[in-house]
Each structure stands twice: as C-alpha cells, then as structure tokens.
Amino acid sequence: MHNIIYHISHMNNDQIYIVLGYFIVLVIGALVLPIEAFSLAFVGIILGFLFRPAIPILGQLPFPVVITGGIALHGIGKLAQSYAQESLEYMIGGGIIGGVVGYFFRYFKPAVKK
C-alpha cells in the first residue's frame, strides 16, 4: 500500500488525470458490460501488461510508467517513452480483445444438457 501512495504522491497533474480517466472507464465498464465481457477485458488488460515489450538491457517498464504512457519521463528516460506507449497499447488491445471475446462468449456459449 505504501508503494501505491508513494507513486500517487509523486505524479504530476497530467498523470493523475490519466489514471483517474482509466478508473472512470473501468467503473463504467463494470456497470454497463455483461460480467463475462468485463472480466475477460480485465484479464486481457493484465495479460497485455504481462506480455508488454521489454527495453533491451533494462527489461520491462514498471506499471506507473506504462499506465501514463511515459509522459513523466525526462532526459535519457525520454528514450523509453515509445516503449511505454507501446506497452500501454498492448494493455488497451488486450482489454478490447478480451471484452469482445467475453461479449460473444455470453451469447454463444453452448447449452449445457442434463
């Protein structure tokens, strides 16, 4: 918990607005989407984060950098911004694919016979 508070307290306004926007979209998705679509979209986001590209030698970027698209990176770290944006695209793509699969799964799941 301390780690999350530390990262939030060191965010600038743009980063806070981005994370708040994602949270609002997540809440709206939970209220509007069928449970299968929402849960598989969430799983897709997690898988997108786990399979994000890695920077040669350094490895994968941490979650706070990825979720904001690397807008807070300065100096030499600015070179990693394209990796942060690509990682964010992996997460968004995973969420979209998972949501679509979950939506169709709800309506096309096979009937269980007793």
**Per-residue pLDDT reduced to its tens digit, 57-90:** 888 988 888 888 888 788 878 888 889 889 989 9
Rg (CA), the chain: 17
Alpha carbon of residue 76 to chain centroid: 25
Low-confidence residues in the chain, pLDDT < 50: 1
Quick one: pLDDT at residue 47?
93
Residue 55, beta-bridge partner list: 59
On whether the CB atoms of residues 98 and 45 are closer than 8 A, the answer is yes
What is the value of pTM for the model shown?
0.74
